[in-house]
Chain A
Amino acid sequence: MIATTYKQAITQGLADALAEDDSVFLFGEDVAAAGGVFKATEGLRERFGDTRVLDTPISEQAIVGAAIGAALMGLRPIAEIMFADFAGVCFDGLANQLAKYRYMTGGQASLPVTVRMANGSPGGFGAQHSQSGENWFLNIPGLKIVVPGTPADAYDLIRAAIRDPDPVLYYEHKGLYNIKGPLRAAADARAEIGCAELVRQGGHVTVVATQLMRHRAVEATQVLAGEGIEVELIDLRTLVPLDLDAVLASIERTNHLVVVQESSFGGSWGATLVAAVLEQAFEILDAPPLVVRGDETPIAYAANLESAWLPDSQRIAEAIRRTVAY
């Protein structure tokens, strides 16, 4: 299997979806002629034409609204919002319109809209271009939230998001665009929305992470394995719907939980996961669950400040040691 980058996997997924279904089209700021500011849509306009791959003005409210209107008419729009932070500009469209349309109309229509957003740090982009935007939308029933961390998952989940009958917020991690890995072979089971991946088996502690933190957690597990601590690592891949069963099944085996997230604590997916685990599995935990996370601050620009904010493999390893030793 030929290795591909995370970014190429996304481009390939978009291309395959466009080729498969005429009702799929893609639009956003600089996605067509320029091929996207991160080049994730490069070549798509040349291949599919400018009626199916469209540049828009800098108008996030119009982009999200247009996606909703087009979906109401039976199309499958893929809207790009560029940096995930820009969701703030079109929050109403995402939170009040896209998420609630199906419910408020008594199920008259589904909105198969995929919204692509570039997530996360550390790129030195500062406080308004580095956030993990998925946390903003956890408390809005009606949206599905996908956070792939590998090229294979990036490909499978963009395909799944576009095929899904419901609105999906698809977060691409900027820090992962150039990582390489194989795509799944045709015969392999695909990553699905709502399905976590058991990345590594281990008996001492369950570690749950996504996107960049998944990779940093893998580094930590390698160090810890040398110390005799065997980590069971789970990548949720999807935050809504949440694969709580996969996490609970792992905690049944390990009796310890550490969550690693690229975000401050309040209102985050890690905090939500810990609350859900405590509701259902308090008795089987041998130590308080821990969330390794960013500080309660915006993300700073300077390299050392941004690095200190973001959990690294050493901080993750230290948290795991403390939890196991509790």
Chain B
Amino acid sequence: MTSRTGIAPGADGELSIDDRLALLRRMLEIRFFEDEVQRLFTKGLVRGTTHLGQGQEAVPVGVCAALRDGDTMTCTYRGHGAVLAMGAPLDEAFGEILGRANGLCRGKGGSMHLTDLRVGALGSYAIVGAHLPITVGAALAARYTKSGAVGVAFFGEGSTNIGAFHEALNLAGIWRLPAVFVCENNLYGEYSPYASTTPVDTIAERAASYGMPGVRIDGNDVEQVRATAIEAVERARSGDGPTLLEAMTYRQVGHSRSDPAKYRPEGELEQWLERDPIVVYERVLSEAGVDADALASIRASAEEEVAAALERAAASPEPELGSRLEDVYAS
């Protein structure tokens, strides 16, 4: 069985060069995807708003590489990367953001609601924290049906101050459900720095309240993310209950379209750019003997694939007007 990124799950410590290149490749696809969305936005082709995740790619890619078919994932409105990491097609993701008929949700969801049940991506949620109880339900169903599946939820550190977070982790804890809660701590809840909203030093320590382990990791190190996620996923799958992971990362762009992120202290962005997960991993691979040409070629091919996907999406028609009346009820 292969993981959502095509890498054997559980193969911690024995990643082949091909596996490692697959991790890099998926991060690059997400990066180029987000860069394109940003360009589309400035051209006025994305409606409403959009929330980009450049700089955070190692978290969804590392975690989803620990999942197998049948496992599920929920994420936030900054969720393009997580949905793509589960294996959603690039062109249909672009199509949704452009409001096209070939979009993942037929143009009814948009950037904040990318969903692809075919790959276990149960949704991107635009109400902070709302999806955490939904992952609890997916995990409850896995236990009920004995499917062996694990439910993963990605959320920002800002979500840990909303009630749904506490209710969800408490319920998952008391029922020892097969769930993994992955906090993408990018240091800012919308425009507010972590320390101004959160009275504890780490999100991981909140796990103690819910009777589950909490682990803080370097969210910009894709292999560390993957290795920790494998442990948490295996723990969940074997019936030992949920885990709270806190992956430290950084949002290289503002919260949303209207945010120039002027609240950041001088030099902070530059420091984090040096720890860009893709740059860091290319260096690791280079030190492991992957030559520069090979890295350049992966980069080029990821970029081409993203560009081709965008072209296909842009060629897709707008949804039929009559479709707005469909999908409210099944009967």
Contact = CB atoms under 8 A, between A and B. Distances in A.
Interface of A: 25, 51, 56-57, 59-75, 77, 92-93, 96-97, 101-110, 141-142, 144, 164-166
Contacts of B107: 106
Interface of B: 72, 103-109, 113, 115-117, 122-123, 125, 127, 130-142, 144-145, 147, 149, 151, 163-164, 167-168, 170-171, 174, 326-331
A164 B331 contact: yes
Contact of B164 (A25, A56, A61, A106): A61
Nearest to A25: B144
A91 to B, nearest CB: 11
B327 A65 contact: no
Given A62-B171, A104-B113, A72 B331 contact: no
Contacts of B138: 69-70, 72-73
A207 to B, nearest CB: 29
Task: Name, among B107, B139, B171, the residue most crowded by chain A CB atoms within 10 Å (CB to CB).
Answer: B171
Contacts of A66: 133-134, 136-137, 140, 171
A59 B170 contact: yes
A70 B142 CA distance: 8
Contact of A57 (B103, B125, B170): B170
Contacts, number: 144
A59 B171 CA distance: 8
B246 to A, nearest CB: 21
A72 to B, nearest CB: 6
B171 A75 contact: no
A62 B170 contact: yes
Contacts of A165: 329-331
Task: Name, among A59, A67, A104, A142, the residue most crowded by chain B CB atoms within 10 Å (CB to CB).
Answer: A104
Nearest to A163: B331
Contacts of B135: 69
Given A62-B164, A164-B331, A105 B133 contact: no
Contacts of A142: 328-329
22 contacts: A57-B170, A61-B164, A62-B133, A62-B136, A62-B171, A65-B131, A65-B137, A66-B140, A66-B171, A72-B137, A73-B72, A73-B138, A92-B164, A104-B115, A105-B105, A105-B327, A106-B105, A106-B107, A108-B115, A141-B328, A165-B330, A166-B331
A234 to B, nearest CB: 23
Contacts of A103: 108, 327-328
A143 B188 CA distance: 35
Nearest to B326: A107
B142 A73 contact: yes
A59 B328 contact: no
Contacts of B145: 73-75
A68 B151 CA distance: 13
B329 A102 contact: yes
Given A59-B171, A104-B108, 15 more contacts: A61-B168, A65-B131, A65-B134, A65-B168, A68-B133, A69-B134, A69-B140, A93-B133, A97-B127, A101-B123, A105-B117, A106-B109, A107-B106, A164-B331, A165-B329
A105 B123 contact: yes
Task: Name, among A51, A65, A101, A108, the residue most crowded by chain B CB atoms within 10 Å (CB to CB).
Answer: A65
Q: List the 3 closest pairs (A to B, CB-CB), nearest first.
A: A65-B133, A69-B137, A106-B106
Contact of A59 (B106, B149, B167): B167
Given A65-B133, A68-B134, A69-B138, A104 B171 contact: no
B325 to A, nearest CB: 10
Given A62-B164, A72-B138, A108-B117, A93 B130 contact: yes
